[in-house]
Chains A and B, each alone.
Chain A
Amino acid sequence: MAAYIARRLLATIPVMAIVGIFVFMLLHLTPGDPAAIIAGDNATEQNIAAIRARLGLDRPLHEQFASWVWNTVRGDLGISMFSNMPVTKLVLQRAEPTIALTITTLIVAVTIAITVGVLAAWKVGTLLDRAVMGFAVMGFSVPVFVVGYLLVYVFSMKLKWLPVQGYVSIDQGLWPCLRNLILPSVALGLAYVALIARITRASMLEVLAEDYIRTANAKGVATSNVLLRHALKNAAVPIVTVIGIGVALLISGVVITESVFNIPGVGRLVVDAIARRDYPIIQGVMIIFSGVYVLVNLAVDLVYTFLDPRIRY
């Protein structure tokens, strides 16, 4: 097992290396002077020269790359152009709301999606099944920000049940924090729920057609037991895969959700950086989010071996 984990960890290195090369090269692939691009349209010659010196753009490319990689590996993601603070520090300051939002959404969405998917597979062909599948197609199609504003309009402005926007730190109590996260989580999680519910239903349908399910039913095992212990357990591998892949949806969605609900998280940091042409921030957050995605999928790979002992290390 330890050898397997070590091998999987090693396998993430080339992936992250490619992410790194890609992220680094983005600024240099473009025609023209990167310093001039960062400086913007109204920059003076001195501004551009200052930026060039600060980002080390006057050094040879391979030297820039080497020092950038070395710094990134040590956790130094450079200095923000706008606030002059280290990017790592800025990201850490903004991490709490983003983590709270993502984890809440993940837990709620996975619970709902698997329940709904199992029910749809159990009652396949019925109205319930069709409603779930219809909802899934809708969930893929309505963008995060449209759902977000619809929820705010109905639940915050008309019914006045929930706050319109903002974030309350978890230090001020669990409920005040969660109250602010309900609407953002629903908006963010909708597509994710749709994705997981669909794969759960498909995977369950495949397993429910197996002989041992008929046997279990025939010998009188309670339906809930057949569904959860016999079927869901065996249907779990594709579901867990999609939960991992779908994290990409959550990460992209977080950037937009935080803008809609005015949550001061890492996503907002990036969006604010767009207008300020604060390229080091965009670069740093890209590396961090990609790293999270790779780690989540590594974890998924490791979970397989627990779910299905037939998968060898």
Chain B
Amino acid sequence: MTTAIIAADCPAPAIADRLRIFARRNPTIAIGGTLLALVSLAAAAAPLIAGDPIVFMPINRLKPPSDEFLLGTDSLGRDVFARTIYGARISLLVGLTVALFAVAIGLGIGLASGYYRRVDAVVMRLMDGIMAIPAILLAIALVSVMGSSVRVVIVAIAIPEIPRVARLVRSVVLSVRELPYVDAARASGSKVRKILLRHILPSTIPPLIVQATYICASAILVEAGLSFLGAGTPPEFPTWGNMIAQSRLYLAIAPWTIFAPGACLALVVLSINLLGDGLRDRLDPRLARRM
């Protein structure tokens, strides 16, 4: 009775208020999420807000930032602002697809090896082997064999991340499979597939979401590293990594050509990491206490 009266007296808080409360309780999610949303928006609307990132104007070589060129121009007279905005596209695309790809495959492997002992021994040795190969070298080798394209870069960056996901999922499966409700499901004759998908899979989702954000952040860093080393996407596309590599000789006279993409790269990775930390605190309290 009383609750009904109170509920009737206080109208549900407006969306803006709810957002404010959420942001105060989860500052890292709010800051990270907002920054990321802004960058994604800018990347999506690149043709509307930025000029041509490819065309070069030799007259305008190495112009410092001005009203005409917000972030100046590079050694070929290309608009650094436009290239930086377009560069966000590759970074976000690679980060997102690598995270999805690695999580999807790692989830399958982790579920199988957590549940079937026989699969486990073989698969986990395989995962140990892949984890021992330095990620960037594996990516360099794959790209140099399969040629540089966005698709190859995505696969090359995702492969070293798969074992980490598989191990995480496996550890969750191992702890959940012994719980009484899984025994009950087994005793009542549920098929293995149903047990895995309906009873075990849901427990893996919160830590996987957290892991996916960290994978996304690290994928963006590795992609930038590969582009920087000349083993990334084809150099015609502006990426933050290849922009920095192409401008390295002009650090002393045109620092904006390096620090504009560099700052964006750091900002995006930082905001994804903040988002990940915030999600971890909310979704995975066990892990949150340990870190």
Does any Cβ of B come within 8 Å of A146's Cβ?
Answer: yes
State how many angstroms separate the Cβ of B214 from the closest Cβ of chain A.
9
Segment of B46-54, B69-77, B128-136 in the binding face: B128-136
Segment of A72-80, A105-113, A173-181, A287-295 in the binding face: A287-295
Once A18-B130, A137-B273, A149-B258 are accepted as A-B contacts, the answer to whether A143 and B266 lie under 8 Å apart by CB is yes
State whether B129 touches A282 (Cβ < 8 A): no
The residues in A between 258 and 272 inclusive whose CB is less than 8 angstroms from any CB of B are 259-260, 270-271
In the complex, which residues of chain B have a beta carbon less than 8 angstroms from the beta carbon of A289?
Answer: 133-134, 137
State whether A252 touches B134 (Cβ < 8 A): yes
Contact of B140 among A19, A137, A270 (CB under 8 A): A270
- CB closest residue in chain A, given B261: A146
The CA-CA distance from A14 to B277 in the complex, in Å, is 35
In the complex, which residues of chain B have a beta carbon less than 8 angstroms from the beta carbon of A270?
Answer: 137, 140
The CA-CA distance from A98 to B248 in the complex, in Å, is 22
The residues in B between 106 and 130 inclusive whose CB is less than 8 angstroms from any CB of A are 125-126, 128-130
Q: Mark A11-33, 1 if CB is under 8 A from B, else 0.
A: 00011111101110011001000
Q: Mark B251-291, 1 if CB is under 8 A from A, else 0.
A: 11001001100110110011001100100000000000011
State whether B248 touches A274 (Cβ < 8 A): no
In the complex, which residues of chain B have a beta carbon less than 8 angstroms from the beta carbon of A300?
Answer: none
State how many angstroms separate the Cβ of B94 from the closest Cβ of chain A.
14
Once A15-B129, A23-B133, A289-B134 are accepted as A-B contacts, the answer to whether A271 and B262 lie under 8 Å apart by CB is no
State whether A153 touches B144 (Cβ < 8 A): no
State how many angstroms separate the Cβ of A313 from the closest Cβ of chain B.
21
In the complex, which residues of chain A have a beta carbon less than 8 angstroms from the beta carbon of B85?
Answer: none
State whether B266 touches A142 (Cβ < 8 A): yes
In the complex, which residues of chain B have a beta carbon less than 8 angstroms from the beta carbon of A22?
Answer: 129-130, 133
State whether A157 touches B229 (Cβ < 8 A): no
Does any Cβ of A come within 8 Å of B81's Cβ?
Answer: no
The CA-CA distance from A256 to B227 in the complex, in Å, is 11
Does any Cβ of B come within 8 Å of A230's Cβ?
Answer: no
Does any Cβ of A come within 8 Å of B141's Cβ?
Answer: yes
Once A37-B145, A282-B141 are accepted as A-B contacts, the answer to whether A149 and B244 lie under 8 Å apart by CB is yes
State how many angstroms separate the Cβ of A25 from the closest Cβ of chain B.
10
- CB closest residue in chain A, given B126: A18
- CB closest residue in chain A, given B143: A274
User: What is the number of residues of chain A that contact chain B, defined by CB distance less than 8 Å?
Assistant: 54
State whether A149 touches B137 (Cβ < 8 A): no
Residue among B134, B269, B270, B290 with the most chain A CB within 10 A? B134
State whether A150 touches B144 (Cβ < 8 A): no
The residues in B between 214 and 270 inclusive whose CB is less than 8 angstroms from any CB of A are 217, 221-222, 224-225, 228-231, 244, 248, 251-252, 255, 258-259, 262-263, 265-266, 269-270
State how many angstroms separate the Cβ of B246 from the closest Cβ of chain A.
13
Residue among A144, A146, A252, A270 with the most chain B CB within 10 A? A146
The CA-CA distance from A95 to B132 in the complex, in Å, is 20
The CA-CA distance from A3 to B6 in the complex, in Å, is 71
State whether B134 touches A19 (Cβ < 8 A): no
State how many angstroms separate the Cβ of B284 from the closest Cβ of chain A.
14
State whether A15 touches B228 (Cβ < 8 A): no
State how many angstroms separate the Cβ of B203 from the closest Cβ of chain A.
23
The 8 closest A-B pairs by CB, nearest first: A18-B129, A146-B262, A141-B270, A252-B136, A141-B269, A142-B266, A251-B134, A290-B132
A–B pairs, 29, beta carbons within 8 Å: A15-B125, A18-B126, A18-B130, A22-B129, A22-B133, A26-B142, A30-B145, A30-B146, A140-B269, A141-B270, A145-B228, A146-B259, A146-B263, A146-B265, A202-B290, A251-B137, A252-B135, A255-B134, A255-B140, A256-B228, A260-B248, A274-B140, A274-B231, A275-B230, A286-B133, A289-B137, A290-B132, A290-B134, A294-B132
15 new A-B contacts, CB < 8 A, other than A143-B265, A255-B137, are: A14-B128, A27-B145, A137-B277, A140-B273, A143-B266, A145-B224, A146-B244, A157-B252, A252-B137, A255-B134, A255-B140, A256-B225, A256-B228, A270-B137, A279-B145
